[in-house]
Amino acid sequence: MNANFDLNAKPDMRLKIAIQKSGRLTDSSLDLLSRCGLKFSRGKDQLMCYGENMPLDVLFVRDDDIPDLVQEDVCDLGLVGLNVVEEKRLAFQPAASRRCSRRCSC
């Protein structure tokens, strides 16, 4: 990849990605970012790491917090499991809508 990135970009110009700090998706998320060409170094118990070759920061957080961080524009992107997506989707639906979708799916 021969792209020119401004590695000294202002903090608000850097892409922020939230991933699970520890759990079943952590290693596969980091592997995905590495395969996309991101170079970074992560120390033990580090809650954030900076892209060394791209204007991108990785935040390590609880998986349940990732959708909220994206919704509140703290992060631009979050990698979570389908279970977290479904839980958050159900939390935002009115109770009547949840009952209806359950009945319809039977």
Which domains, ranges and CATH numbers included, belong to the chain? 11-105 (3.40.190.10)
Q: What is the residue-wise DSSP string for 89-101?
A: HHHHS-HHHHHHH
- Whether the full predicted model's pTM is greater than 0.75, yes or no, is no
What pLDDT does 10 receive? 67
What pLDDT does 5 receive? 64
Low-confidence ranges of the chain (pLDDT < 50): 1-2, 96-106
Q: Under DSSP, is residue 57 helix (H, G, I), strand (E, B) or coil?
A: strand
Distances (CA, A) of 74 to 12, 83, 95: 10, 21, 28
Neighbouring-strand partners of residue 56: 15
